[in-house]
Amino acid sequence: MLAMYGRTWAVFLGGILLLQVLQLAVGLDNGLALKPPMGWMSWERFRCLTDCQLYPDECISEKLFSRHADLLVSEGYAAAGYEYVIIDDCWLEKNRDNDTQKLVPDKKRFPSGLNALSDHIHEKGLKFGLYQDYGTNTCAGYPGVIKHMQLDAQTFADWDVDYVKLDGCYANISDMATGYPEFGRLLNETGRPMVYSCSWPAYQEDAGEMPDYESLKKHCNLWRNWDDIDDSLESLMQIMDYFAKNQDRIQPHGGPGHWNDPDMLLLGNYGLSYDQSRLQMAIWAIMAAPLIMSNDLAAVRPEIKDILQNRAVIAVDQDELGIQGRRVLSRNQIEVWQRPITPVAKSGHHSYAVAFVSRRDDGAPYRIPFTVKELGLTNPKGYRVQDLYNARNKLGVFQSESQFITRVNPNGVTFYKFTAL
Ligand code: GLA
């Protein structure tokens, strides 16, 4: 009798194990992020400012996030597609609740609790994102999820979270390839759809390991490939170079539901000029990157706001095919980046977004001709060309043998749509 019970029990346990393995194999498949997510996140601009007496408008607090939810709507960003309001690091108490072991938001800085904040964000028609870390601690030293994964996934669902950024500080890099999918499965099991942003490849790349992009595609909606962005042209260029040099192994994996993430937009802060701001926006659109701003939305100058809300550029980023672009050519320190987009001509030829990036600093805007063919565009019927930063600049029709001349400002960009005829 006992032996029979033992067998039944073993079959039962085996069944559960099999189900879990199957779920892991099936992957996230949550139907989310079919286009690169757009929104606003605290980290790049507001870091871990926690002194609300000294910095009442900048500290990581419910006020900062509800103010930015309001600004996303009142300043027109929501209408342009920016949707997620994401709390990055430094929102937690240093300890979990003694009795329940639940995560506790900082009591002084989030006195109303995260449900009240998420309600406010949802009432504005926006979505709520939250940062946590796979390891024992977040990068800034707050408690991480590793020993409480199920409880934390459920707590996120209870707070009506729509987007989770899971960082990878204070963790074993060798555990990440199984641990991140496991947390994704637990998020799924709550029944609440949550976009899942993984940082595991960034940590692997840093340690000289090769991320398994097939697994990432299956288990995460987006992933940070590499280092953090900082507020400078140098940092921006390093990230662009990293993506360009590694494009053969990175680019094919971006697509609807699973995106490469080169990190936040710097626009509206201190480090980028007007031209450099246009440059980041154009290249992020070429890379089908998530468009996550990190700035003080009350302080963005009007000309920078126009770039952030440029509908033609956003449309490239959000193109429904979701094919990530590449750097295809570099001549005289002018780089050509292009991305296949819609509409696709009856002949099967794609339209393209093409960005010319100047890495030059020799003063005058640099004039440079390319044949359209050299840009990788070979539609026999040619292309109608439109300047994405200047709708009034109608450039007409170009054949693949035609010469296309552009003039790029130092450390700047020109950005065009070539619509296949
Ligand atoms: C890491 C991440 C950043 C940010 C910080 C917070 O560095 O890559 O994006 O979340 O941690 O501590």
pLDDT at 207: 94
Q: Which of 24-28, 190-194, 397-401 has the lowest mean pLDDT?
A: 24-28
Task: Give the amino acid at 78.
Answer: A
Tell me the average pLDDT across 146-150: 98
Arithmetic mean of pLDDT, 179-192:
98
CATH number for 327-420: choose from 2.60.40.1180, 2.60.40.1240, 1.20.1600.10, 2.40.10.120: 2.60.40.1180
> What's the CA-to-centroid distance between 89 and ligand 1, angstroms?
7
- pLDDT tens, position by position, 346-382: 999 999 999 999 999 999 999 999 999 999 999 999 9
C-alpha 266 – ligand 1 centre gap (Å): 15
Residue 7 banded pLDDT, cuts 50, 70, 90: low
Give the pLDDT score at 28.
Answer: 81
Residues 6+ apart with CB under 8 A from 199: 134, 165, 166, 167, 168, 223, 224
Average pLDDT, integer, range 328-346: 98
Domain 38-322 CATH (choose: 2.10.109.10, 3.20.20.70, 2.130.10.10, 3.50.50.60): 3.20.20.70
30-56 mean pLDDT? 98
How many angstroms separate the alpha carbon of residue 46 from the centre of ligand 1?
A: 12
For ligand 1, atom 11, the nearest C-alpha belongs to 139
Least confident residue range of 23-37, 201-215, 395-409:
23-37
- Please, are residues 124 and 77 in contact by the beta-carbon 8 Å criterion? no
Ligand 1 site residues (CB inside 6 A) read 43, 88-89, 131, 138-140, 167, 199, 228
Q: Is the pLDDT of residue 147 over 70?
A: yes
17 has a pLDDT exceeding 80: no
Confidence of residue 27 (pLDDT cuts 50, 70, 90): confident
The domain segmentation of the chain, as residue ranges, is 38-322, 327-420
